[in-house]
A = this chain, B = another copy of it.
Amino acid sequence: MKKWKRDKRKKGITGAEGRRFTKKVSGKIGLPPGSLVHTGDKREGGVRIRIVEYEGDRFQEREIRSLDECFPLKSKPAVTWIDIDGIHDTEVVRRAGELLNLHPLLLEDIVTAGQHPKVEEHDDYLFIVLKRLEMKDGPEGIDNEISAEQISIVFGSNYVLTFSEHEDETFASVRDLLRSANGRFRRRGPDYLAYIILDAVVDRYFLVLDRLGERIERTEEELISTPSAETVNDIHLLKREMLFLRKSVWPLREMVSSLQRCGSELVDETTRAYLRDVHDHVIQVLDTTETFREMVYGMFDIYLSSLSNRMNEVMKILTMFASIFIPLTFLVGVYGMNFEFMPELKWKWSYPILWLFMIAMAVSMLVYFKRKKWF
């Protein structure tokens, strides 16, 4: 049972988790720029396209088969949100690019995993890439590790286009919000919707931090009470998670602030004020990430010192036993010698006196060690 757990942990390092960092990143070499080849994890099943349209009081939600069904986009005031799950079907991405006249390199970015979070300003639209983080449950709650999914957001004057591979409750919660919201939200433009999506994604980061915080606490408790070789493995895995988290979160800061400062007219003043709020959230996430990091790195030092401490304990026990009995063994050895002329051997009280002497010796050693606080 314990072994099984250890195996899992080992797999944790070199298996799926390790892959996160060392996975093939070279699938597209030799192709001309702008080629659409999907390089991330692939989901089972077909593409799913969801349309949400709203304008003031009007609100409509439906699922379509082909992108062409919703084009050309309706009259200006309405906002159309087209959510495409399943970017492994590069044909759909290509078609969306065609219909909205998007830059080929942008389409390439959408389908290529491992993009750095960023904002790109184009003439008619803005393009945002970021990561959606989630804490995946392992069996028994041990191997829960962070998984990241790339999300792309394109928004123009009257539409928001989102791409991802897997469906997820983050977007569902945004739909809920739109559905339930009074007219207030719906009166705003696509930039506000993009902000709502961004905010929802960043908010999930706090969930991941919560779970990670619990795991750090659990590992720390284990470290203090029963440190073992597995604990150091856990610390190692936690370091990895921190590495992964940092890599996803750091560029976000730059991304959000460049969105705030961008010159495009697509983002109006009110939305910019809201983006400041997202910016604050990102900084909080960063802060906590850094704090966690320092905590995890500090744990390793404690582990090393506890190892040294234990070695000290073991050495002390050995030294005590050896120091007490080695001289005594020598003494009894002396009276085991076969010399003919050893007067002590004939004396009547030799034996009990020797015993007394040996006991006294042992006791004084013990007192000495006691004074040195060895036990």
Q: In the bound complex, do residue A326 and residue B323 qualify as a contact, i.e. CB atoms below 8 Å apart?
A: no
**Max chain B Cβ within 10 angstroms of own Cβ: one of A108, A301, A340:** A301
Whether A370 is near chain B, meaning CB under 8 Å from some CB there, is no
Indicate which residue in B185, B273, B335 contacts A338 across the interface (CB closer than 8 Å).
B335
How many angstroms from the CA of A325 to the CA of B247 in the assembled complex? 56
How many copies the complex holds: the figure is 5
A33: chain B residues within 8 A (beta carbon): 196, 199, 274, 277
Indicate which residue in B25, B210, B274 contacts A209 across the interface (CB closer than 8 Å).
B25
A5: chain B residues within 8 A (beta carbon): none
Q: In the bound complex, do residue B304 and residue A305 qualify as a contact, i.e. CB atoms below 8 Å apart?
A: yes
Whether A316 is near chain B, meaning CB under 8 Å from some CB there, is yes
CB distance from A191 to the nearest CB of B (A): 14
A333: chain B residues within 8 A (beta carbon): 329, 332-333, 336
CB distance from A216 to the nearest CB of B (A): 6
Indicate which residue in B21, B325, B339 contacts A295 across the interface (CB closer than 8 Å).
B21
Whether A73 is near chain B, meaning CB under 8 Å from some CB there, is no
CB distance from A159 to the nearest CB of B (A): 21
Indicate which residue in B221, B232, B239, B292 contacts A21 across the interface (CB closer than 8 Å).
B292
Whether A22 is near chain B, meaning CB under 8 Å from some CB there, is yes
The binding surface of chain A is classed by DSSP as helix
Nearest neighbor of A303 in chain B, beta-carbon distance: B305
Q: In the bound complex, do residue A232 and residue B305 qualify as a contact, i.e. CB atoms below 8 Å apart?
A: yes
Indicate which residue in B206, B287, B330 contacts A29 across the interface (CB closer than 8 Å).
B206
How many angstroms from the CA of A313 to the CA of B196 in the assembled complex? 56
Report the contact-size class of chain A (Cβ under 8 Å from the partner): 35 or more
CB distance from A14 to the nearest CB of B (A): 5
Whether A203 is near chain B, meaning CB under 8 Å from some CB there, is yes
Q: In the bound complex, do residue B345 and residue A339 qualify as a contact, i.e. CB atoms below 8 Å apart?
A: yes
12 residue pairs A–B, Cβ–Cβ below 8 Å: A18-B217, A22-B210, A29-B203, A116-B287, A310-B312, A312-B314, A315-B319, A318-B323, A321-B326, A336-B337, A341-B348, A342-B351
Using a CB–CB cutoff of 8 Å, the interface residues on chain A facing chain B are 10, 13-14, 18, 21-26, 28-30, 32-33, 103, 105, 108-109, 114-116, 118, 120, 173, 176-177, 181, 185, 196, 199-200, 203-204, 206-207, 209-210, 213-214, 216-217, 220-221, 224-225, 229, 232-233, 236, 239-240, 243, 247, 273-274, 276-277, 280, 283-284, 287-288, 291-292, 294-295, 298, 300-312, 314-319, 321-323, 325-330, 332-342, 344-351, 354
The 5 closest A-B pairs by CB, nearest first: A22-B213, A332-B333, A26-B206, A335-B337, A318-B319
